[in-house]
Amino acid sequence: MTPRSLVLFSALAALSAATKCWNMTIPISISARNGVFDLKPPTTETEVTALFLDMSRPGNNSTAQYLKDYATVSGNYTLAATYCEAAAPCARDALQILTHGIGFDRSYWDYPYHSWNYSYVRQAVRDGYSTLTWDRLGVGESSHGNAVNEIQINLEIAALKAITEMARAGQLPRVSRKFSKIIHMGHSFGSAMTYGLTAMYPSISDGIVLTGFSQVSKYMAYFVLAANFAPVSRISSLADEYDDGYIAPRSKVGVHINFFGPNNFDPRLLEVAYRKGQPAATGELLTVGSGPSSSDFAGPVMIITGDRDIPFCGGNCMSTTEDKTSAPNLIEQSRDNFKQAKAFNATVVPDVGHALNFGYPAHRAFGIIGEFLKTNVGPPLKQEARRWVGRTSPRSRSG
CATH architecture group of domain 3-383: 3-Layer(aba) Sandwich (3.40)
Quote the distance between the C-alpha of residue 3 and its chain's center.
24
Judge whether residue 229 has pLDDT over 80.
Answer: yes
Residue 225: which of 139, 338, 314 has the closest Cα? 314
Gap between the Cα atoms of 381 and 124, Å rounded: 12
Grade residue 306 by pLDDT with cuts at 50, 70 and 90.
very high
Q: What is the pLDDT of residue 379?
A: 81
For residues 341 and 301, the answer to whether their CB atoms sit within 8 Å is yes
Residue-level pLDDT at 322: 72
**What is the reported pLDDT for 176?**
86
What's the whole-number average pLDDT of the chain?
91
Largest CA distance in the chain: 79
Q: Residues 94, 182: contact at Cβ < 8 Å? A: yes
**Backbone phi, then psi, for 177, in 5-degree steps?**
-160, 155
- How far apart (Å, rounded) are the C-alpha atoms in residues 190 and 111? 16
Q: Given a cut of 80, is residue 243 above it in pLDDT?
A: yes
10 pLDDT above the threshold of 70: no
DSSP character at residue 288: T
- With a pLDDT cut of 90, the percent of the chain lying above it is 84
Read off the pLDDT of residues 374-393 as tens digits, 9 standing for 90 and up: 999 988 876 544 433 333 33
Going from the C-alpha of 63 to that of each of 35, 243, 283, 284, the distances in angstroms are 9, 21, 9, 11
In order, the DSSP letters of 329-341 are: STTGGGGGG-TT-
Q: Mean of the pLDDT values across residues 114-140?
A: 96
pLDDT (0 to 100) of residue 326: 84
Residue 195 contacts residue 303 (beta carbons within 8 Å): no
pLDDT tens profile 319-351:
997 766 789 999 999 999 999 999 999 999 999
pLDDT higher than 50, residue 28: yes
Structure confidence at residue 80 as a pLDDT band (50, 70, 90): very high
Pairing relationship of beta strands 246-249 and 280-281 according to DSSP bridges = antiparallel
Calculate ∠ Cα 277-280-285, nearest 5°. Answer: 140
